[in-house]
Amino acid sequence: MPPRAPSDAIDLGPLGKRIGYRLRRAHMAVLDQGDEAFASLGLRTQQYGILLFLNHAPGHKQMEVGIALGIQRSNLVKMIDELEGLDLARRSEAPNDARAYILHLTRKGRTLLRRAKILDAELDRRFDRKLGRGGCKKLLELLTKLAALD
Amino acid sequence: MPPRAPSDAIDLGPLGKRIGYRLRRAHMAVLDQGDEAFASLGLRTQQYGILLFLNHAPGHKQMEVGIALGIQRSNLVKMIDELEGLDLARRSEAPNDARAYILHLTRKGRTLLRRAKILDAELDRRFDRKLGRGGCKKLLELLTKLAALD
């Protein structure tokens, strides 16, 4: 997949100072850097996020996972299909609800996740270097405030 | 369009502390709040961003606009179709390149943008209140550092 981060070559004017645009660019850059970091495991950043969540909270229904992660149903279905194809996660019928699936990691998924976490820790150190002392903590704090309901 | 921001009802575990995930949630929240703010003009946040850019930098090729804004070609084509349908922007043939389009605002687009900027300024004040004194400036600074190439 080509890098998602947009180019700086064109003067953006007032758009470049908007928080929404800067959030988008920073998010794209983080996704790109994650994709690069996880490439040796054949994993993409967003797949890593799903594995991380399923490991922490197995047995949720697919719909609940979509809501928690803020991923639209159709996109999540595709992503879970991919993870199943790689034998990293699996769906099983929800108890008492044959129309719903619950999601789990496979043994292979748990093993891969352990290796991915090591790469993720390296990624965090890279962000720390970029943002300077206390920068990551401050950024997380501001992002959480921004996402909070009024 | 339903709000994009994911739910807080499910414990996210380590995913909730990751910068990429927090960027995504903050971005979704900002998109939602913009959609709400611009709804009275029949505009969405991302459309506002495109209008803002086209007003500042008219005459760029569609491809260049996509790169500058970090929007994939197929999505941008759809968005420009919509803006053309609303008579807010228009494509015209690029000089010396009949296969490419350049993009402009229409008169109606410029008028709507002026009204949208007033709503956007109110949105900025809302973000200021959320993030506290100096918070927006600090956030923009951290986001710009994070998106910078190593």
State ipTM: 0.91
φ/ψ region of A106 (left if φ > 0, alpha if ψ in -120 to 50, else beta) reads: beta
pLDDT at A2 (0 to 100): 55
Average pLDDT over residues A62-66: 90
pTM, entire model: 0.90
∠ at Cα B23 (B19, B24), nearest 5°? 120
pLDDT on residue B3: 58
Residue A47, phi then psi, degrees to nearest 5: -65, -40
Closest Cβ opposite residue A12 in set B9, B45, B68: B68
Alpha-carbon distance of B72 to B68, in angstroms, equals 11
Given a cut of 90, is residue B125 above it in pLDDT?
Answer: yes
Contact A14 B56 (CB under 8 A): yes
Q: Element (H or E) spanning B16, and its range?
A: none
Nearest CA in chain A to B5: A70
Show residues of chain A in contact with B36, CB under 8 Å.
none
Averaged pLDDT for residues A6-14: 78
- pLDDT-based confidence at residue B85 (cuts at 50, 70, 90): very high
**Which residue in chain B has the smallest CA separation from A55?**
B13
In this prediction, residue B48 has a pLDDT band, given cuts at 50, 70 and 90, of very high
Does residue A44 carry a pLDDT above 80?
yes
Cβ separation of B31 and A18 shorter than 8 Å? no
Contact A30 B146 (CB under 8 A): yes
Name chain A contacts of B130, Cβ cutoff 8 Å. 145-146, 148, 150
Cβ pair B13:A142 closer than 8 A:
no
A31 has a pLDDT exceeding 80: yes
